[in-house]
Homo-oligomer: A and B are copies of this chain.
Amino acid sequence: MQERLGEVKAQVQAALDGAMAGLPAGELADAMRYACTGGKRIRAFLAMESARLFGLGDAAALPVAAAVEALHAYSLVHDDLPSMDDDDLRRGLPTVHVQWSEATAILAGDALQSLAFGLLTEPQIGPPEARLALVRGLSEAAGGRGMVWGQALDIAAETAAAPLDLAAITRLQQAKTGALIQFAATAGAVMAGKDPGPLADYARNLGLAFQIQDDILDVTGSEAETGKRTGKDGAANKATFVSLLGLEGARDKARALVRDAETALDAYGEGAGNLRQLARFVIERDA
């Protein structure tokens, strides 16, 4: 799995570099490339592996993987802005607005979102109907009922009178990070015109487990390991899976979710080995 992840990382970086090769030179292009560098590339991995389940090769899945990572990169750049989460460190480097300016960060994020949708039109992905289904799916996952809505809930929670309860945190995270993870994990089924149901179940459980592990690392991890500021949630007195369930309760919950994620993959047999391993990796990672 780690080997495949490394392979995906290299491929998706090349695809993103290629997609941005024609940009006019300047701060905007520099900031876009900077934002698309590094990262775990878990979403790209999900897209590439889900395509494999349906016999679709890397060439078909690569623009989809690059699109998801461009979309994800834009969301990080905007979430890090002073008026949002106000983060100065990301992937071990200064965030885009620190490195350049708020204006450049907003614009780079905006252009990366445009780029993501453009990538989904690449002919190598497959039949036009499949590409349109991906565009529609990304629009839903990214927009005002998906990722952006989740971020809006997160911002609103900061000034709410009472901390969120478990149901509210779960709903928030399913929108904020879950929707895009689900888009990535179901991409292969959408490309092949098959039922995305089992992959959606897998992704829902995986996405929550991923977020719980993020909350755990915010408490137990170091900035050197995670490449971002830690201890922020506790300092902000923010409700998280850890504050609601305790450290051990959160770990138990994440393990149960990973088991459910693996079970959802039973429909695909041996071919889903890498996706199973990814689910376990998600809660074992320390970064």
Contacts and interface: CB of A to CB of B under 8 A. Distances in A.
Contacts of A84: 103, 106
Contact of A121 (B23, B74, B135): B135
A32 interface: yes
- Which among A74, A83, A114 has the highest number of chain B CB atoms within 10 Å? A114
A139 B152 CA distance: 25
Nearest to A155: B103
Interface in A118-138: 118, 120-121, 127-129, 131-133, 135-136, 138
Copies of this chain per assembly: 2
Interface size bucket, A side?
35 or more
A151 interface: yes
Contacts of A139: 114-115, 117-118, 121
Contact of A144 (B23, B117, B127): B23
A121 B136 contact: yes
A22 interface: yes
Contacts of A129: 128
Interface of A: 20, 22-24, 26-29, 32, 74, 78, 81, 83-84, 101-104, 106-107, 109-115, 117-118, 120-121, 127-129, 131-133, 135-136, 138-140, 142-146, 148-149, 151-153, 155-156
20 contacts: A20-B144, A23-B145, A28-B148, A29-B144, A32-B144, A78-B106, A78-B107, A81-B103, A84-B103, A110-B110, A110-B142, A111-B143, A111-B144, A111-B148, A111-B149, A113-B114, A115-B143, A115-B144, A121-B132, A128-B128
